[in-house]
Amino acid sequence: MDETPTSRIIAASCLTGVYILLTWASAVAATVTNHTHPSPANIETSVHGIILAGVSILTLVFTIQLIGRRAKSDLRLGIVCGIICVALVVTATVLPLPIWMVLGHVAGAILLLAVTIILLLRRATTAPPLG
């Protein structure tokens, strides 16, 4: 892969887009499961999925800013992705979630870790930051 700043922005944007799709698909699946088989555990899973989907909107906003090359958008997105990555790992290990949601958390954490690394490398190798 070409190591230009633009290619890193594209890679980070694509990975973030996959994460957003994953969280929204998980929220829809949890909500459908809750409606077809209502139980306290499914309600908690549904609420958790909806919260994750809501938080993914923040990554979407920062990704749009990154594509628009707004000042320090790479730093903001990298910080948010790193924090959400840690939160996903903690909730996957602590909360009693269905296995499919745990696997979704692991996949999401891997995607966001990749975004964080790409953006940190981009920031370290480019002289002037975005903006």
**Tokens for 100?**
């499919």
- Asked if 80 and 62 touch (Cβ cutoff 8 Å), the reply is yes
Query: What span, in angstroms and rounded, lies between the C-alpha atoms of 79 and 94?
Result: 23
Amino acid sitting at position 8: R
Q: Residue written as tokens 């958390």?
A: 105
- Asked if 100 and 41 touch (Cβ cutoff 8 Å), the reply is no
pLDDT for 40 beyond 50: yes
More confident residue, 19 or 124: 19
Residue-wise pLDDT for 51-96, tens only, equals: 999 999 999 999 999 888 888 888 889 899 999 999 999 999 998 8
**Tokens for 83?**
């924090």
Judged by DSSP in three states, 98 sits in coil
Q: State what percent of residues in the chain have pLDDT above 90.
A: 49
Tell me what pLDDT residue 70 has.
82
The sign of the CA dihedral 111, 94, 100, 22 is: negative
Q: pLDDT averaged over the chain?
A: 86
Q: What is the pTM of this model?
A: 0.82
Tell me what pLDDT residue 2 has.
46
